């Protein structure tokens, strides 16, 4: 089951990935993507083990960004692979059939290639400009999502990239399965409350 809210950790000077994960899970998040950049696999493994304990305690799915072998070693539920990461077919050979594999897309052609490669879900974006990701692909906006998703897609697509609370309802109406969020939760004054608000909006409890 692919969650409607994909929560993503980020490298922050004032808060560890474990602290970010604990706060998000306390707000009801049940899908955590650990995204650590510019660290060795050994260091990412240490962080992943700590984050996995938190995810296990909350019953949350753990996805590791990029580091396929770390995901296997730590016993995560899956990996998310960017355009320049290990190809998803190769990752499937390494991980086996039981692991979740997500891929990153910016165009309908990207999506078709990922569908053929057998991914379980796709992160499509960016919705708008975001400083969280370097080498940003062209911004899609609502019209981009409508155009791409109107062609029919066989796997769940999650919108990502600079999405705010006020965007979520309109974004979801454009056709994705869910949203992926990082800074909106991590940089909030109360990350748990921010996560809960997102979940309430996705559940139709508030706009």
DSSP calls for the chain: ---SEEEE----SSS-HHHHHHHHHHTT--EEEE---SS-HHHHHHHHHHHHHHHHHHT-EEEEES-HHHHHHHT-SEEEE-TTSS-HHHHHHHH-TTSEEEEEESSHHHHHHHHHHT-SEEEE--SS--SSSSSPPPP-HHHHHHHHHTT--SS-EEEESS--GGGHHHHHHTS-SEEEESHHHHTSSSHHHHHHHHHHHHTTS--
| Overall average pLDDT of the 179-204 stretch | 98
> Rounded distance, CA 78 to CA 3, Å?
13
Q: Which residue has the tokens 């057998």?
A: 118
Domains of the chain: 5-201 (3.20.20.70)
pLDDT band with cut points at 50, 70 and 90 for residue 151: confident
Global model pTM greater than 0.85: yes
Please state, rounded to an integer, the average pLDDT across all residues of the chain: 95
> Rounded distance, CA 36 to CA 9, Å?
8
pLDDT band with cut points at 50, 70 and 90 for residue 138: confident
pLDDT band with cut points at 50, 70 and 90 for residue 205: confident
The model's pLDDT over 75-125, given as tens digits with 9 standing for 90+, comes to 999 999 999 999 999 999 999 999 999 999 999 999 999 999 999 999 999
Residues annotated within a binding site: 33-37, 65-66, 85, 104, 130-133, 162
What values do phi and psi take at 6, rounded to 5?
-100, 110
Residues annotated within a binding site for Mg(2+): 66, 85
């Amino acid at each position: 089951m692919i969650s409607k809210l994909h929560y993503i950790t980020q490298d922050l000077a004032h808060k560890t990935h474990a602290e970010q994960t604990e706060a998000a899970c306390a707000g009801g998040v049940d899908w955590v993507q650990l995204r650590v950049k510019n660290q060795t696999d050994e260091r990412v493994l240490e962080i992943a083990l700590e984050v996995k304990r938190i995810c296990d305690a909350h019953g949350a799915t753990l996805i590791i960004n990029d580091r396929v072998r770390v995901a296997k070693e730590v016993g995560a539920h899956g990996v998310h692979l960017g355009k320049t990461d290990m190809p998803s077919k190769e990752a499937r050979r390494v991980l086996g059939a039981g692991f979740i594999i997500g891929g990153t897309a910016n165009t309908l052609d990207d999506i078709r290639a990922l569908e053929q490669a057998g991914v379980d879900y796709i992160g499509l974006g960016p919705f708008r400009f975001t400083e969280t990701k370097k080498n940003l692909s062209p911004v899609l906006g609502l019209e981009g999502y409508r155009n791409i998703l109107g062609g029919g897609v066989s796997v769940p697509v999650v919108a990502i990239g600079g999405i705010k609370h006020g965007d979520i309802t309109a974004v979801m109406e454009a056709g994705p399965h869910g949203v992926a969020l990082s800074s909106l939760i991590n940089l909030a004054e109360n990350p748990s409350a921010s996560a809960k608000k997102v979940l309430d909006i996705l559940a139709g409890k508030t706009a």
